């Protein structure tokens, strides 16, 4: 399944409750969309941006899920995983 990183520019003044509400909406919407799965997110400390990783059939599915959940979806980039364990024991 393709993976995507979504950059979400957030409006100023969000609090923890706003973030919780958006996450719950995303979970509910994703449950109705075949193949769309939220893997994890990173929230900027100043709460200005979210960087979310998803599995989805395509970028349009990610955008549609965000639209239905009423959350920002500014940039969608297809990615591949690169992790330290892939290089364990290799000599550079």
pLDDT digits (tens, 9 = 90+) for 23-58: 999 999 999 999 999 999 999 999 999 999 999 999
Is pLDDT above 90 for 91? no
**Tell me, what DSSP letter sits at residue 91?**
-
As a whole-number percent, the residues of the chain with pLDDT over 70 amount to: 97
Q: Which residue has the higher pLDDT, 80 or 89?
A: 80
Residue 90 has pLDDT above 70, yes or no: no
Residue of higher predicted confidence among 25 and 89: 25
Q: CA angle, 79 as apex, 70 and 72 as ends, to 5°?
A: 15
C-alpha span between 11 and 23 (Å, rounded):
15
- What is the three-class DSSP state of 68? helix
Average pLDDT over residues 3-17: 93
Say yes or no to pLDDT of 92 above 70. no
């Amino acid at each position: 399944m393709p993976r995507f990183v979504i950059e979400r520019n957030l409006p100023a003044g969000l609090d923890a409750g706003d973030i919780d509400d958006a996450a719950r909406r995303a979970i509910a919407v994703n449950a109705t969309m075949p193949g769309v799965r939220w893997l994890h997110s990173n929230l900027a400390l100043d709460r200005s941006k979210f960087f979310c990783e998803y599995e989805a059939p395509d970028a349009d599915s990610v955008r549609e899920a965000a639209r239905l959940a009423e959350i920002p979806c500014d940039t969608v980039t297809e990615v591949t995983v690169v992790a330290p364990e892939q290089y364990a024991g290799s000599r550079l």
